[in-house]
Amino acid sequence: MSHPTPSLSHFKRSDYQHIYEPAEDTFLFLDALEKEQGFLTDLNPTVCLEIGSGSGCVSTFLATLIGGSGTLFLTTDINPRANAATLSTAHHNHIPLDALRCDLLPSLRHTIDILLFNPPYVVTPSSEVGTHSIVASWAGGIDGREVIDRVLPLVDGALSKRSVFYMVVVNENRPEEIAERMRMCGFGMEVVLGRRAGNEGLKILKFARQA
Ligand SMILES: C[S@@+](CC[C@H](N)C(=O)[O-])C[C@H]1O[C@@H](n2cnc3c(N)ncnc32)[C@H](O)[C@@H]1O
């Protein structure tokens, strides 16, 4: 039986002019987390952090999936309206969560047990990358990799010893090249789920420290 998607009934249609409306990529991410429920629960995380939380749907889902009063759920987003939206979704679904407005990650050293990121992965001109508006939801620049490539070098320093990082990509982002980069930082990669949605070949990647 599938775990319920968080209620988003507090949003108006017009809210999605300013924050990312959960779409196929979001729902594939939820399906992947649900598939990983046993592993994630066994991890017994203390700190979970989602980069780019948008509506807050993914972190709220994770919190209901693995629960636990001892777990701190944190989110970041560069778009201030997304921080507010994330808090309202958490509140609406009775989830305690803190939403930070920051670029990518706060400087937490070896602290995060579960890291999530559904990045702006669409191939766009570089000039579209780096806004604080709804455009930041999708604009990924060259190969859709410009934001992704800023995150990859931060992962090793931010993650705790027993940790995991999940990220959404499309085929244009060249997942095998991302795997190679992460391998050089000591992380193995596997594909948890993949799905074709329109012209997007979506994948959910899972990175864990190699033994
Ligand atoms: C594809 S949307 C995903 C939203 C939500 N997590 C979901 O799955 O529906 C990407 C999100 O990343 C945010 N974002 C883009 N660049 C960012 C950055 N440098 N730091 C933090 N958040 C960023 C956007 O504002 C947007 O909310």
Residue 167 lies in a domain: yes
Please give the residue that has the higher pLDDT: either 211 or 107. 107
pLDDT at 2: 84
Render pLDDT for 160-171 as a digit per residue (tens, 0 to 9): 999 999 999 999
Render pLDDT for 43-101 as a digit per residue (tens, 0 to 9): 999 999 999 999 999 999 999 999 877 999 999 999 999 999 999 999 999 999 999 99
pLDDT at 1: 54
Instruction: Tell me if 203 sits within 8 A of 26, measured CB to CB.
Output: no
Instruction: Tell me if 186 sits within 8 A of 209, measured CB to CB.
Output: yes
| Token pair listed for 21 | 């409306």
pLDDT at 69: 78
Write the CA distances from 108 to 91, 134, 141, 154, 176, integer angstroms: 25, 27, 27, 10, 28
Render pLDDT for 141-199 as a digit per residue (tens, 0 to 9): 999 999 999 999 999 999 999 999 999 999 999 999 999 999 999 999 999 999 999 99
Instruction: Tell me if 28 sits within 8 A of 168, measured CB to CB.
Output: yes
Render pLDDT for 10-43 as a digit per residue (tens, 0 to 9): 999 999 999 999 999 999 999 999 999 999 999 9
In testing the pocket of ligand 1, which one of 51, 87, 134, 173 has its CB within 8 Å of the most ligand atoms? Answer: 51
| Helical (H) or strand (E) element with 83 | helix 80-92
CA angle 192/167/57 to nearest 5° reads 100
**Residue type (1 letter), 47:** V
pLDDT at 211: 81
What is the rounded CA–CA span in Å between residue 101 and residue 81? 9
Residue 169 lies in a domain: yes
pLDDT at 145: 98
- Indicate the DSSP class of residue 132: S
In testing the pocket of ligand 1, which one of 53, 81, 135, 138 has its CB within 8 Å of the most ligand atoms? Answer: 53
Residue 60 lies in a domain: yes
Range(s) of the domain holding residue 34: 20-209
pLDDT exceeds cutoff 60 at 208: yes
Residue 74 lies in a domain: yes
Residue 134 lies in a domain: yes
Per the structure, the count of domains in the chain is 1
pLDDT at 113: 98
Looking at residues 114-139, what average pLDDT do you find? 97
Classify each residue of 105-123 as buried b or exposed e, where b means 16 or more C-beta atoms within 10 Å of its C-beta.
beeeeebbbbbbbbbbbbb
Residue 12 lies in a domain: no
Render pLDDT for 98-121 as a digit per residue (tens, 0 to 9): 999 999 999 999 999 999 999 999
Q: Which residues line ligand 1 (CB under 6 A)?
A: 20, 22, 26, 29, 51-55, 57-58, 76-79, 82, 103-104, 118, 120, 136-137, 147
Residue 33 lies in a domain: yes
| Token pair listed for 74 | 């944190």
Residue 51 lies in a domain: yes
User: Ligand 1 centroid to 57 CA: how many Å?
Assistant: 12
Read off the CATH number of the domain in which 195 is found: 3.40.50.150
pLDDT exceeds cutoff 80 at 206: yes
